[in-house]
């Protein structure tokens, strides 16, 4: 039962138990898949060997810090891409470049992946993600499926809300989940309301340099910011995010952050904030351009919403945003047009921390309460603009019409879905066809692996009446995912030769070891099926250094052939990295242990892979 506690109060937890034991366990995944039209379901997800899936699924790895790539509809796991955590399979976090990028951290908590967009459609170029655990943001390129840049986001603690990009990837907004004093310096919790802030960062990505950058920050009130979404089309200059703990409780949030009947959605115009920054309406704080709403007025508004909302999602037409209740059983549909009108007419009901509050009745369009549906969290959309909301507590997906509020369909899932993801579901033109429920609890759906059970993803055919047609156990933890048409992604076959890269060695005769004081630089080659570190040496595959030397191994894979990847590990030195075809990678370390250490290729690359070895000899200093 522990798992339930963070989201449900004690009372609710009891209710959850009741709901699950009576309603959901009677209908296990297995019976669902096995009953009736088993064959047609299986055929729908079957992708014969040699054929490929129609879609890629990029699924969040949560506190594994990784991203998992699957094919849809087969749900076959294709690749794990390390983002915020070390990965010995690829050497990510071990080689120089990625180690520096990770900024000294070895793990992360990846929640919401987001594709780069052009005109509100996924463009297949980049994927962004944030780290709730260590407050970072990352950009992955989709030509190589590797991370290109990671930044630390100061003043923002746990950018859970993100990443959601604006229509042309101008910005991603990273609001904080945990309020902290600016600069994260020590301040007593008794001074919480005055000294703590919920800072939001506006982050840009330069596609030419492949660099993330913080454009400016906004010092919002010390609340928790939960989810956000960017506007589309007529609302493209705007973004929304949900808040909780507007009570500003500093302990026992389970109870104290659920006191007020209403929390807020923060509605802001990023074009206006951008203009304010350009006009110098900000303070320079901790090296950042910081907008203080109580001082620098404009661009930000509050919309009251039922207490402790979780998800907020903008409809594909950009006309509405939908907040989900978590503790309240309703989805609330708000109108952007009405909000703009209210802003224009200054139709305010008060303010908090200098931010005007729009009147609820002026912005709200309808509250939707599907019968017995409990715990709405997140909403996705299909090609007809219909909404699909995950019900965490009643373990189901409810399909409904945002324009009328009418419930159209519902399907049980196993169990407790957090998010769901629809094919191209966050774009201005979702595909329909597929929806995947990302379930927090799989219970007894699969072979037991001990007291902790896996999470699961369930593929739902939404082309007609909703039907769960496939169910897969998955790695932790499926928070959110993105589904993109496979033909939008164009990967490269090999890393192209880069004659400007001074660390690369492409010709065997150029392989050399250069000593500079106690720094040793190895310019080496990995090829089928040998290492060449020093072309002129008696044993070209041996590196010999003195104890205490600082060693740099710059290794180039000169097999310009798709899929010929080499690895490089030094026995007992806790080092391993990968060099993909054409790639140059560097390991930097101090040879502090004297002795004889075999080195070898860790990635099976040819029939003579076992012969791809050498020695790393470290002469003792005394």
Binding site for ligand CUK (CB under 6 A): 111-112, 160, 227, 310, 377-378, 418-419, 479-480
**Residue partners of 289: CB distance under 8 A and separation at least 6:** 215, 216, 217, 277, 282, 283
Task: Name the nearest CA neighbour of 558 among 536, 590, 534, 529.
Answer: 529
Task: Give min distance, CB of 421 to ligand CUK, in A.
Answer: 11
Applying CB under 6 A, does 604 fall inside the site for ligand CUA?
yes
| Strand ranges, E, within 250-311 | 262-269, 283-285, 288-291, 300-306
Binding at 419: pick from ligand CUA, ligand CUK, none (beta carbon under 5-8 Å per type): ligand CUK
Toward ligand CUA, which CB reaches closer, 413 or 601?
Answer: 601
Q: Where are the beta strands (DSSP E) in 142-254?
A: 146-152, 172-175, 180-181, 196-206, 211-220, 224-230, 238-244
338 binds, among ligand CUK, ligand CUA, none (CB under 5 to 8 A by kind): none
Distance CA 394, CA 373 (A): 6
Instruction: Rule CB under 6 A: choose which of 303, 483, 612, 618 binds ligand CUA.
Output: 612
Nearer to ligand CUK, 99 or 177 (CB): 177
Shortest Å, Cβ 50 to ligand CUK: 36
Show the CA angle centred on residue 505, arms to residues 504 and 511, nearest 5°.
135
By three-state DSSP, how is residue 246 classified?
coil
> In the chain, helix, strand, coil percent, each to 5?
15, 40, 45
Give the E-state strand segments of 91-159 in sequence order: 114-118, 121-131, 136-141, 146-152
Partner interacting with residue 377 (select from ligand CUK, ligand CUA, none; CB below 5-8 Å by kind): ligand CUK
Q: Choose which of 541, 609, 615, 617 interacts with ligand CUA (CB under 6 A).
A: 609
- Binding window for ligand CUA (CB under 6 A); candidates: 102-110, 301-309, 537-545, 599-607: 599-607
Binding mask 554-583 vs ligand CUA (x if CB under 6 A, - otherwise)?
------------x-----------------
Q: Which of 309, 461, 485, 333 is nearest to 397 (CA)?
A: 461
130 vs 603, beta carbon nearer ligand CUK: 130
- Which of ligand CUA, ligand CUK, none binds 479 (CB below 5-8 Å, type-dependent)? ligand CUK
455 vs 559, beta carbon nearer ligand CUK: 455
Q: How far is the CB of 310 from ligand CUK (least distance, A)?
A: 6
For ligand CUK, the closer CB: 114 or 363: 114
Of 238, 257, 102, give the one whose Cα is nearest residue 177: 257
- The piece of 376-384, 499-507, 510-518, 600-608 that touches ligand CUA (CB under 6 A) is 600-608
Distance between CA atoms of 283 and 322, rounded to whole angstroms? Answer: 33
> Is the preceding omega at residue 73 within 30 degrees of 0, hence cis?
yes
Q: Nearest residue by C-beta to ligand CUK?
A: 418
Q: Which is nearer to ligand CUA, 587 or 605 (CB)?
A: 605
Binding mask 502-541 for ligand CUA (x = CB under 6 A): ---------------------------x------------
> Please, are residues 619 and 546 in contact by the beta-carbon 8 Å criterion?
yes
The 8-class DSSP code of residue 393 comes to T
Q: Which residues contact 301 (CB under 8 A, 6 or more apart)?
A: 266, 267, 268, 339, 343, 355, 356, 357, 358
Residue whose structure tokens are 């060449």: 532
232 binds, among ligand CUA, ligand CUK, none (CB under 5 to 8 A by kind): none
Name which of 10 and 598 has its Cβ closer to ligand CUA.
Answer: 598
CB of 599 to ligand CUA, least distance (A): 12
Report what 586 binds from ligand CUK, ligand CUA, none; CB cut-off 5-8 Å by kind: none
Our CB check for ligand CUK shows the closer of 435 and 527 to be: 435
Q: What are phi and psi of 342, to 5 degrees?
A: -65, -40
Among 72, 257, 267, 601, contact with ligand CUA (rule: CB under 6 A): 601
Q: Six-digit token pair at 227? A: 């989810």
Q: How far is the CB of 578 from ligand CUA (least distance, A)?
A: 10
Residue with tokens 């570190």: 533
Instruction: Region of 189 please: left (phi>0), alpha (psi -120 to 50) or beta.
Output: alpha
Closest distance to ligand CUK from the beta carbon of 242 (Å): 10
């390991």: which residue's tokens? 587
Binding region for ligand CUA (CB under 6 A): 529, 566, 601, 603-605, 609, 612
């Amino acid at each position: 039962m522990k798992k339930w506690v963070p989201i449900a109060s004690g009372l609710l937890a009891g209710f959850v138990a009741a709901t699950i034991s009576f309603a959901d366990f009677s209908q296990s995944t297995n019976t669902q898949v096995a009953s009736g039209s088993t064959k047609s379901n299986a055929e729908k997800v079957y992708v014969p060997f040699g054929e490929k899936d129609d879609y890629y699924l990029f699924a969040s790895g949560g506190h594994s810090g990784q991203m998992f790539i699957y094919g849809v509809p087969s749900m076959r796991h294709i690749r794990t891409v390390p983002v915020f955590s070390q990965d010995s399979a690829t050497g990510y976090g071990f080689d120089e470049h990625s180690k520096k990028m990770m900024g000294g951290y070895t793990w992360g908590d990846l929640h919401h992946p987001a594709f780069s967009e052009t005109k509100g459609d996924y463009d297949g170029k980049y994927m962004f993600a944030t780290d709730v655990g260590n407050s970072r943001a990352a950009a992955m390129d989709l030509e190589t499926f590797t991370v290109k840049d990671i930044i630390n986001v100061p003043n923002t603690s746990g950018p859970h809300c993100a990443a959601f990009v604006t229509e042309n990837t101008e910005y991603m907004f990273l609001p904080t989940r945990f309020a902290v004093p600016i600069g994260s310096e020590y301040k007593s919790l008794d001074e919480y309301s005055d000294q703590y802030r919920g800072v939001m960062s506006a982050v840009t990505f330069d596609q030419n340099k492949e660099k993330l950058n913080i454009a400016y920050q906004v010092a919002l009130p010390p609340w928790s910011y939960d989810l956000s979404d960017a506007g589309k089309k007529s609302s493209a200059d705007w973004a929304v995010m949900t808040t909780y703990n507007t009570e500003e409780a500093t302990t026992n949030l389970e109870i104290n952050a659920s006191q007020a009947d209403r929390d807020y959605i923060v509605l802001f115009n990023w074009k206006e904030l951008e203009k304010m920054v350009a006009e110098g309406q900000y303070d320079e704080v901790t090296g950042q351009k910081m907008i203080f709403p109580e001082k620098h007025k404009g661009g930000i508004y509050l919309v009251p919403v039922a207490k402790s909302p979780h998800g907020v999602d903008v409809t594909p037409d950009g006309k509405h945003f939908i907040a989900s209740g978590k503790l309240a059983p309703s989805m609330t549909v708000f109108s952007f047009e009405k909000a703009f009108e209210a802003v224009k007419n200054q139709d305010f009901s008060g303010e908090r921390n200098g931010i005007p509050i729009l009147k609820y009745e002026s912005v709200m369009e309808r509250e939707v309460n599907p019968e017995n549906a409990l715990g709405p969290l997140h909403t996705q959309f299909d090609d007809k603009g219909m909404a699909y909301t995950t019900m965490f507590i009643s373990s189901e997906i409810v399909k409904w019409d945002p324009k009328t509020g009418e419930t159209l369909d519902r399907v049980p899932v196993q169990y407790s879905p957090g998010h769901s993801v629809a094919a191209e579901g966050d774009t201005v033109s979702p595909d329909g066809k597929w929806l995947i429920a990302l379930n927090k609890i799989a219970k007894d759906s699969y072979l037991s692996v001990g007291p902790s059970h896996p999470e699961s993803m369930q593929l739902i055919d939404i082309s007609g009446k909703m039907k769960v047609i496939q169910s897969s156990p998955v790695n932790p933890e499926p928070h959110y995912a993105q589904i993109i048409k496979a033909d939008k992604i164009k990967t490269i076959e090999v890393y192209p030769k880069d004659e400007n890269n001074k660390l690369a060695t492409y010709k065997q005769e150029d392989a050399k070891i250069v000593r500079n004081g106690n720094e040793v630089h190895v310019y080496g080659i990995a090829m089928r099926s040998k290492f060449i570190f020093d072309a002129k040496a008696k044993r070209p595959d041996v590196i010999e250094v003195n104890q205490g030397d600082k060693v740099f191994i710059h290794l180039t894979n000169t097999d310009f052939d798709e899929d010929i990847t080499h690895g490089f590990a030094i026995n007992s030195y806790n080092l391993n990295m990968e060099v993909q075809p054409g790639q140059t990678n560097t390991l930097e370390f101090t040879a502090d242990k004297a002795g004889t250490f075999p080195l070898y290729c860790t990635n099976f690359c040819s029939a003579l892979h076992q012969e791809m070895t050498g020695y790393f000899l470290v002469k003792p200093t005394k």
